[in-house]
Structure 1
Amino acid sequence: MGEIEHKILPKIKESFFSKIDELSISRTFFKLIDRDNFEEYTDANPAFCIYFGQKPKSNFLDEELIESLVKDATLLLPVIDEDLSEFNSLVPEKLQNYNGLSFAGMGIDLAIEKVVNNVLEAFNLLKAKRRVFVSYKRNDSSGVAIQLYEYLEQHNFDVFLDTHSIRKSEPFQDELWQRMIDSDVVVLLSTENYLESEWTQQELTNANLASIGLVQVVWPEFTVVQGAQLSEVLKLEASDFINNIFQNVNAKLTDDSLEKIVKFTEALRVRTLASRQDKLISTFMRYAEKSNVIATLSSHKFIELDKKGEKSIVVPAIGIPKALNCEESQMLIKAIYQDKLDKVFILYDEIHIRDIWLRHLNWLNKHLPVKTQEIGKVAEWLSR
């Protein structure tokens, strides 16, 4: 076992199963396979391989195993602890055309978060897009908000910031609410005057209504914003700011502080996605019970529906459904149920989704075999 593998592999395993627990998925659905029990591997099941690169003494480890995985088109993530410019010297030739991850200059906790989230996304347990909404008071923290927007974008987040993310021709407030609902996490910059704005109060209220997780970044000498349901709190010290200056609209954070915010944001994504999915599921199940429709929650967190002898699957979606969601859902369900179904539906919460997008979803319903269904109209749909 190489040095990097020995150092972080146990922590990756621990973090992965911790997040699986938070998603309420049984650990028995997953098997850990390494070089010692590779005979248990089969290409009949979805798999994800992490390869720890190292400088070879003569030959790379496990090249025969890697060849088998590449042949089966298994998802592979090579990781190294040096700069990516050294990538080809640290991994076997068959992995050199794969996108790798470098831990160089990255905190160990953040590195583990990135690896684990890659695995969860590969198994369709997390959305591939990391969408973040920055909520702040312009007169208090514009400098940090812009700095955070740029830093998160550099770390592969899709970030919404009001001054940067809405085109001039768009209806500002409608687009803002839709982008919030389609986000995984809200990063709230808790400053002295945050709650004095009507708009920031509404952002907090709407985040709570949609069960979106909040990372509260609290300025020195100020208190935590009350009323946030799913919340992680990161209290800043003066030393977290460049030159210890924080009572200034143009104040900036240090790189270490920005990395801490990224870590908090990564960690909260799993919790908030699980919470929003559970809220959709429980609401649907209540409607089904009232309508005397047989609805069963499967181990994959799909809802198996028996409506007057018609067998369907309802897939809870977080955020706004898109054509790609429909295609992925159809392929996954086809593999699981082998065409023994009448219909597939994607369930979503339509609150704050703009009319133009709802019309687009209606158009998709006319042209795709997978249909979308609004949670607000489920009672009427089930009673037909």
Structure 2
Amino acid sequence: MEILFISPNLTMKEPGKGNVFLNACIKEIENYLFDIPVIRNLNHASSVMSKLDKDVLIIIFNDNLDKYPDEIVKLIDVAKEKKIDIWPVAINKDIRDPIDNIGIKQSYDVFEQLRCRNLNDEYLETIGIVFARKAISKVLPNFYSDNSLLFISHRRLDGEEIAAKFCDQLSIQARNNKSFRDVTNVEVGEVAQKVIDSSLSESDVLIFIHTEKSAESDWIQKELIYAVLNSIPIIWIRVDKANEEKLRIKPSDNPHIECKSEDFYDQNKLIKIIDSVLQKSFELIMLSSTSVYDRINTFEELCESSNLELIEENKRYLIYNLVSPRKGYIYPQRNINQYIQYFGRRCKEEDFTKIIKFLEDKKLNEHQLYDSAILLSDKVKVRKINENIVEDNYDDFYSTWQEYINGKAFSNDGEIIISGAFPNCDEIYKQSLYDAVNIFAKEILKNGFTLTFGSHPTFKNIIFEIGKKFRPRDYKNAINMFISKFFEKYYDISTLKMNATVTEIDVIDGNNDDERKLKSLTEMREKMISRTNVKALICLGGVIRNGDTKQGIDEEIKIARANNIPVFIVGSVGGRSSQLAAEYRKKGNWSDINKESVILNEELAINLDYRSLANKVISAIGNKK
């Protein structure tokens, strides 16, 4: 489906405000879609008519013209005949009625959108961006829905009032969205935690309102862990510079939004906070959603290598037909026949209704011609919708088919080291590193390897939780953490040892603290990497340091190669690993760090499909046993 704008120059007497709105809208949409057409002259309108098809969304600007141009009227008539969606936009409150031949349609009311935010016409661009999200949800229905559920994670002791203010204003500025807050959304007599857990599992975004007492809450920690492990985007709002060092789980390197308590009682400031949250939520959802293509590609690779047939049934709604021979039976039998639908967001009730309607056409005389339909996203645990439809997550679906085709994964007795840190970039895009660490850690553990890393304040607790989830019987042995005693005042060794096998490395003396720190980190890296059981070093991100400052990843690569340990550099997460990957690409000297193909190393440098990359790297390491 594509979007077709009719320029306000053709339908408005004074199109200035309309053009400001239009330009902001197109700029936002073009972050996610290509070549947004705009009819800018009447000749263009005439030429478009014959090419119109149902898979178009037309957006037109209202005005109180005595007579609209004939070409525009005719274009609208053709669109109505072909049952094409038409969205009228009212820039001012006195032009809410659309062009007559459109009929009775509700216009997008820009004046009302400004009013509910207490904004004036200087903020037309803001509303253009809001409208763009609505249009994107129409064109990319499996990526984004404008009726998202936002889960508000807060501490009642010092955050209840500001959370209430936040939710009240959110309900005004984003009427289609819903928010969950335990005080108002748990009914009397209900089991509170059960309702909270259910709502969290169905949420599109978690809004973490970080007040000073938040760090003391076990429930908030559990909510953050659940969100990270289940790929629910997190918006981190830090209030009154609350101490982030006390947080056991940090949602990112730095907060997305910084504000003061009094900002929640100032209408104008609160409006800006809400708009910022909505924009960042949209960006994170879309950033996460676009990985759906990577998921499809990964499964296509499995199908191609295993003689499974994967047929695209509906491009817009990402529906595929999977056909596979059945195994384990000596007599002839029909193939497995499944329908798969991919989502970059959480599935909604209307999605179930639509897939049921789609499946009605896959019957012959009331007999269904398929085994089942699977709705896939990365945010759910398996659940049955009805006798034939199941909602599942990508990982489990892929693993189920991989195991069906290849048998159970073999056990590995080696260690794989993950190295890296957050890169220098916008907080939104640091999510890529979080995703990559999450995925590589899961795949390493699922394939029987031991995951080894040098203690990192942001990642360690998430890695511990991944270990408990994917290796519940031996998670302490499955995770190997090295830490320098230089930092011993910042950690509790007994707590660490409850979650992993921990190796403390003694401090190396130096002339000052900086020298002792650098020497101690070098010693820790030497001890961690220079061991015969280490099978590979995977480098992700890393801070880019200026001047002659020692780069941690560089030192680790040097130690690994001195011990003949292969190194794999993931460039697309940004930071120092992206610089190194670019250097190796330019020189073409991948063989200096591993013996794998140029194709694999090039993929690691630029590809965002971390699951596919993790599987390929682990396969390469496993084959060297």
Shorter-chain TM range is 0.7 to 0.9
Query: Could you say what the CA RMSD is over the residues aligned between the two structures, in angstroms?
Result: 3.8
Is contact 2:169-2:271 (8 Å) kept? no
Q: What TM-score do the two structures reach when normalised by structure 2?
A: 0.48
Structure 1 119/255 Cα, relative in aligned 2: closer, same or farther at 3 Å? closer
Task: Choose which of 66, 72, 77 in structure 2 pairs with 1:67.
Answer: 77
Q: Which amino acid aligns with 1:138?
A: R
1:247 corresponding residue in structure 2: none
The answer on whether the counterparts of 2:63 and 2:95 sit within 8 Å (CA) in structure 1 is no
Q: In the TM superposition, what is the alpha-carbon distance from 1:133 to its structure 2 partner?
A: 0.8
Gaps of 5+ in 1: 21-26, 245-251, 336-340
How many angstroms does 1:100 deviate by? 1.6
Supply the distance in 1 between the matched residues of 2:205 and 2:288 (Cα, whole angstroms). 7
Q: Which amino acid aligns with 1:235?
A: E
Q: 1:198 to 1:239 in 2, by over 3 A?
A: closer
Q: How far is the alpha carbon of 1:151 from its aligned partner?
A: 2.1
Q: How far apart are the structure 2 equivalents of 1:254 and 1:320?
A: 28
Structure with the larger RCO, 1 or 2 (CA within 8 Å, 6+ apart):
1
CA contact (8 A) 1:49 1:77 kept: yes
- Counterparts of 1:46-195 in structure 2, within 5 Å, are 46-56=55-65, 58-61=66-69, 62-83=72-93, 86-88=95-97, 91-95=98-102, 97-104=104-111, 105=114, 106=119, 107-123=123-139, 124-125=141-142, 126-154=144-172, 155-156=174-175, 157-195=177-215
| Contact in 1 for aligned 2:17/2:124 (Cα 8 Å) | no
- Alpha-carbon distance between aligned partners in 2 of 1:332 and 1:128, rounded to the nearest angstrom: 23
Q: Report 1:316-327 matches (<5 A).
A: 316-317=342-343, 321=347, 324-327=350-353
AA aligned opposite 2:62: G
Q: 1-side partners of 2:168 and 2:275: how far apart?
A: 12
Paired letter, 2:53: A
Deviation at 1:202, TM superposition (A): 0.8
DSSP-derived class of the 1:227 partner = coil
What amino acid does structure 1 have at the position aligned with 2:67? N
Find the counterpart in structure 1 of residue 281 from structure 2: 265
Return the match for 1:34 from 39, 51, 55: 39
State the one-letter code of the partner of 1:67. D
Instruction: Give the Cα–Cα distance (whole angstroms) in 1 for the partners of residues 197 and 252 of structure 2.
Output: 18
Q: How many corresponding residue pairs?
A: 349
> Residues 213 and 279 (structure 1 numbering): CA distance in 2 closer, same or farther, change over 3 Å?
farther
- Rate the CA distance shift 1:55–1:6 in 2: closer, same or farther, 3 A: same
Q: 2: CA distance between counterparts of 1:279 and 1:165?
A: 36
Contact 1:280-1:349 at 8 Å conserved across structures: no
Which amino acid letter does the alignment assign opposite residue 85 of structure 2? L
C-alpha change, 1:307 and 1:271, in structure 2 (3 Å) is same
Classify 1:239/1:142 alpha carbon distance in 2 versus 1 (closer, same or farther; 3 Å).
closer
Once the 2 structures are TM-superposed, how far is the Cα of residue 115 of structure 1 from its aligned partner?
A: 1.7
Identity %: 14
Compared CA separation, residues 323 and 202, structure 1 to 2 (3 A): closer
Q: Give the gaps of 5 or more residues in structure 2.
A: 1-8, 10-14, 326-334, 362-368, 406-625
One-letter amino acid of the counterpart of residue 16, structure 2: E
Q: 5 Å matches for 1:182-221?
A: 182-221=202-241
Sort the Cα spacing of 1:380 and 1:256 in 2 relative to 1 into closer, same or farther, 3 A: closer
The offset of 1:318, in angstroms, is 5.4
Structure 2 residue matching 1:365: 3-state secondary structure:
coil
The question of whether the paired residues in 2 share the 8 Å contact of 1:311 and 1:343 is answered with yes
1:310-351 per-position Cα deviation (integer Å, ceiling 9, x unaligned): 56441124566466313424667999xxxxx85662333697
1:176-216 Cα distance to aligned partner (Å, 9 max, x none):
22212222111111221222100001111111111111122
Contact 1:311 1:342 in 2 (8 A): yes
CA gap 1:381/1:44 in 2 versus in 1, 3 angstroms: same
In 2, the alpha carbon distance for the partners of 1:270 and 1:143 equals: 30
Matched-pair contact (CA < 8 Å) for 2:18–2:91: no
Comparing 296-305 with 147-156, greater Cα deviation is found at 296-305
SS in 2 for 1:127: coil
Query: For the residues of structure 2 that align with 1:34 and 1:202, how far apart are their CA atoms?
Result: 51
- Stretch of structure 1 that moved more, 313-322 or 165-174: 313-322
Distance 2:379 2:259 in 1: 34
1:346 to 365, 370, 374: 374
SS in 1 for 2:104: coil
